[in-house]
Amino acid sequence: MLVTNKELLLPAMQKGYAVGAFNIQNLESLLAVVEAAVEEKSPVIVAVTPSSIKYGGLAYLTKIVRTAAESAPVPMSLHLDHGKDFETVSKCVEAGFTSVMIDGSFLKFEENIALTKRVVDLAHAKGVSVEAELGRLAGVEESTVEEREAVLTDPDSAKEFVEQTGVDTLAVAIGTSHGAYKFKGEAKLDFERLRLIRERVNIPLVLHGASSVPQWIIQKAVKYGAELAGAKGIPEEHIKKAISLGISKINIDTDLRLAFTATIREVLSTKPKEFDPRKILGPAKEAMKEVVKSKMRLFGSSGKA
Ligand code: G3H
Ligand code: 13P
Ligand code: ZN
């Protein structure tokens, strides 16, 4: 059944587990996420970015997700991930998304509040949940400790932001970043900052850039020709600790991409005579599904549907 992020995340916040938001781009990735949720009896957030909308088309993606939700015996939401402007958000609300993210993290504090508030007014009128982001996800390019800290979420500003916008969930920056290259040295997150934010903010908190970049997937991809030197993610113990400190939604994209493409490489290289797309994409979908299932167990959402 199709529900909002708020409906999925309030119980998670109260009971101390997290719901995964998994990015999909096509039928195979949607099937992987939904089949995993059904097998794990887990609530799930199906996340779609503006670039995936550009790739797959808003109407197609909305309809395949809503079709899956009609028959899936688990609660799921259709969520816009990293909506950057009001127009994109409105189109997704109109199309039938049940949750939207307005990412004003690149704006000044007051501008982020103003844009988020506008989105909250529009979305709440239609019963749609809103996620916003405060602070930026530091990349490896912010190499000094000072540079990395400067973009993290300030706990007092988070409290003010939530009060002024009426947003349903808040993405916080505590040291994660998007993609497969999150750290040059040791993986470090600012857990004390997360604790201070949780003390001040009483809505579900979201962790972006949470892929672990598992070595077994990297090794498989590299074995069959990928170049991924220096790839590094968030250790699973850090994810558990973040959940224990109050993270209720966890975004995963990179690990799914790695599992999918590593398997495509493996099939193409071990079965050179194969040219049926279903025999190439099918195993890739299964590999992605196994990763989603293992995330659901790690996040504690298995069995919570
Ligand atoms: O933040 C989400 C993604 O990992 C980036 O996704 O390449 O679909 O924009 P995208
Ligand atoms: P990863 O790149 O770590 O998978 O993060 C995905 C994400 O935050 C999507 O919004
Ligand atoms: Zn993100």
| Span 12-31, pLDDT tens digits | 999 999 999 999 999 999 99
> For a substitution probing ligand 1, which of 29, 82, 256 has the most ligand atoms within 8 Å of its CB?
82
Q: Is the pLDDT of residue 138 over 80?
A: no
Q: Which residue, chain included where needed, has tokens 């993210």? A: 101
Residue 254 alpha carbon to ligand 1 centre in Å: 8
Q: Is the pLDDT of residue 140 over 80?
A: no
154 is catalytic: no
Q: What tens digit of pLDDT does each residue of 203-248 get? A: 999 999 999 999 999 999 999 999 999 999 999 999 999 999 999 9
Judge contact between 282 and 32, C-beta under 8 A.
no
What pLDDT is stored for residue 139 in this prediction?
72
In ligand 2, the atom with minimum distance to the C-alpha of 182 is: 3
Task: List 21's β-bridge partners, or say none.
Answer: 45, 251
Atom nearest to 47 CA in ligand 1: 2
Pocket test for ligand 1, best of 81, 182, 251, 256 (most atoms within 8 A of CB): 81
Q: What average pLDDT score do residues 292-300 get?
A: 99
pLDDT over 90 for what percent of the chain?
95
- pLDDT(142) > 70: no
Taking the CA of residue 25 as reference, the ligand 1 atom at the shortest distance is: 8
pLDDT level of residue 144 (50, 70, 90 thresholds): confident
Give the pLDDT score at 81: 98
Catalytic residue among 81, 103, 190, 253: 81
User: Residues lining ligand 2, judged by CB closer than 6 Å?
Assistant: 23, 81-82, 178-179, 208-211, 251-255
Q: Note the pLDDT of residue 145.
A: 73
For the chain, what is the mean pLDDT?
97
Across the range 287-298, mean pLDDT stands at 98
